[in-house]
Amino acid sequence: MSGRRQHTYFRRILVAYDGSPQSEKAVELAFSLAECIDSSVLIFAVARPPEPATSVELGAVLDDAREHYEEGFKKILEKARPHNLDVKTDIAVGHPGEQIIHRAEVDGIDLIILGRRGRSMLSRMVLGSVSERVLRYAHCPVMVVH
């Protein structure tokens, strides 16, 4: 196993997860890739606080996000078990694009996989696109799943 890993370019894969069908697809793709090339997978979710935050709302948003993602993580880990994959999960708080880029750098990630939500033009203009930001700033290859 370790012998194969030495020749694997994508040793560590980060999958951005938000519970959407696109991110589920990204997870599936990451698992099949990881199985082929023997990579470890980090399923990474980001809870985004409202701006400007108010204290009670912030607490509620973080609680909801934790429950939502932990529920999703459980299902994902169930799916990963038969394949005997090295899968980890984590949740961060902040702007999704920045947190994904940062985590990828800190963990020495070799490949980021994320789903594209296909938001409206208005939504992209106001909120920005997570996938575009990650593509622009990430230190490693990025795969966007449609």
Structure tokens at 79: 């799916």
DSSP category for residue 81: G
3-state secondary structure of 16: strand
**In the complex, minimum distance from the CB of residue 81 to another protein, in angstroms, rounded to a whole number:** 22
Single-letter code of the amino acid located at 29? L
Is 135 a binder of another protein (CB under 8 A)? Answer: no
| 1 or 106: CB nearest another protein | 106
Residue of 29, 77, 92, 135 that binds another protein (CB under 8 A)? 92
Residue among 40, 143, 142, 144 at smallest CA distance from 90: 40
Residue 69 CB, shortest distance to another protein, in Å, is 8
Would you state the structure tokens that stand for residue 146, as one six-digit string?
């449609």
Contact yes or no for 35/85 (Cβ under 8 A): yes
| Binding flag, residue 88, another protein (CB under 8 A) | no
Looking at the Cβ atoms of 5 and 141, the one nearer to another protein is 141
Measured from the CB atom, the residue of 37 and 135 that comes closer to another protein is 135
Site for another protein, residues 34 to 53, rule: CB under 8 A: 47-53
Q: Could you tell me the CA-to-CA distances from 66 to 33, 58, 59, 135 in Å, in that order?
A: 27, 12, 11, 26
> Tokens 């920005």 map to which residue?
128
Q: List residues near another protein by CB under 8 A.
A: 47-60, 62-63, 65-66, 90-95, 97-99, 101-103, 105-106, 123, 126-127, 133, 137, 139
